[in-house]
Structure 1
């Protein structure tokens, strides 16, 4: 049971989410991923490592205005507190009657045994491998992939869970995305979308958002996004992309 006495929720434009109990807090990467990816009226959506559910709820908010079909949203996470918080957030989320949510405490390696297929899979996965462990165990689990979730396990699981016409989107640092790209090609997953993300004008790229699908496209568009124009000013492109969620930037 959660008691939210002094914990303030993260307030978006149309809803708010609690995230103080989750292993990893709401941050730029998750909101950017949910804002940037193309949404083509998916009906089965899976979030791997859902945390407080932020990516799922943001996608559901976008999807409910353009999709009248029944929609099933599933979030999986190995952390119990994160799943409980996601369930609490669902109880306050302004979902449509055709939107259904479930949050499951499990590893993706176990979840894949359900043998379901998803139109849209998303993840902001852990990416620190073989680095110094952070002092907080739950936060460590959410950020490190040595034993928790390897890229090979993630790629294999997605290849089994993704529908033939589905797309898997994730966000990673540049070097980690290069590694994951190789793994995906070995699993029969091909790049069909890419956004290169720069923290500030003039600085090197620090994140990549990619979409992977089972049907190899002849070509795909590569977009570039700069988050800030100056240290104190967000770019107009970033403001436009995220305006549906943020109250102000």
Structure 2
């Protein structure tokens, strides 16, 4: 079977098969992979890489010399990412590591990206792997930031996507531990929503005025907004 025919999601420059891993390609990953700011990063760490979607999006967006490490605790997710990377245009730029992030030891990174778990611990899931991938009991957001502080270079950054309430709690924790919010994007599914459904957050350990953004995914049922199209037009086939 050709790789493009594997169950998954086909983008303009690569195909993401996701039949082996618990978490499938979704809007959260697309948002973060397109939004995370890439300057002159030398080495990016993708925590909880799942299918490898975000790593592949960052590889497409960045210069050839940029290296990316895709990390996951789930062996099936790591195998899925390895296969997706192998069949992508960037097989030599993304390294896959199977490890627990909290025990992970590596040279410092310039940027850490993560689509972290956010459902409350104890919520019922039929798939144990999906529970690990999506429950905060497996990786507390406070632990994520504390470990990131160890693994980042002095002026390194963390980019995350989270539901609104969890993101607010994470930001409250971060600012009391000398993190600064560099960029913040409020995401609504439709313009009539009173409150954002997601926040995209960029944090660092040095001061910078916060850049505030807003994004609506659909401005009408079944029609992507111009802002979302501009953000993701290099990836979606139908944009």
1:70-219 mapped onto 2 (5 Å cutoff):
70-95=65-90, 100-111=93-104, 113-114=105-106, 116-146=107-137, 148-203=138-193, 204-217=195-208, 219=209
Q: Report the Cα distance in structure 2 between the residues aligned to 1:164 and 1:81, rounded to whole angstroms.
A: 33
CA distance, structure 2, for counterparts of residue 9 and residue 16 of structure 1: 7
**2: CA distance, partners of 1:59 / 1:172:** 19
8 Å contact from structure 1 (residues 159, 187) kept in 2: no
The one-character-per-residue Cα deviations of 1:8-31 (angstroms, maximum 9, x if unpaired) are 331100111111111211100101
Q: 1:5 to 1:228 in 2, by over 3 A?
A: closer
SS at match of 1:200: coil
Q: Which runs of 5+ in 2 are unaligned?
A: none
1:37, CA displacement in angstroms?
A: 2.2
List runs of 5+ in structure 1 lacking aligned partners. Answer: none
**Which residue matches 1:25?**
24
| Contact 1:23–1:79 (CA under 8 A) maintained in structure 2 | no
Give 1:13's aligned residue: 12
Give the SS at the match of 2:215: strand
8 Å contact 2:3–2:15 — kept in the other structure?
no
Whether the aligned pair in 1 keeps the contact of 2:44 and 2:112 (CA below 8 Å) is yes
Task: Sort the Cα spacing of 1:107 and 1:186 in 2 relative to 1 into closer, same or farther, 3 A.
Answer: farther
Distance 1:128 1:101 in 2: 28
User: What per-residue deviation string (whole Å, max 9, x for no partner) do you get for residues 138-180 of structure 1?
Assistant: 111111011x101121011111111112111000011101111
How much has 1:77 moved relative to structure 2? 0.7
TM-score by length of 2: 0.93
Pairs aligned (count): 237
TM-score norm. by structure 1 comes to 0.90
Query: Is the contact made by 2:3 and 2:87 (CA closer than 8 Å) also made in structure 1?
Result: no
**Secondary structure at 2:154's aligned position in 1?**
strand
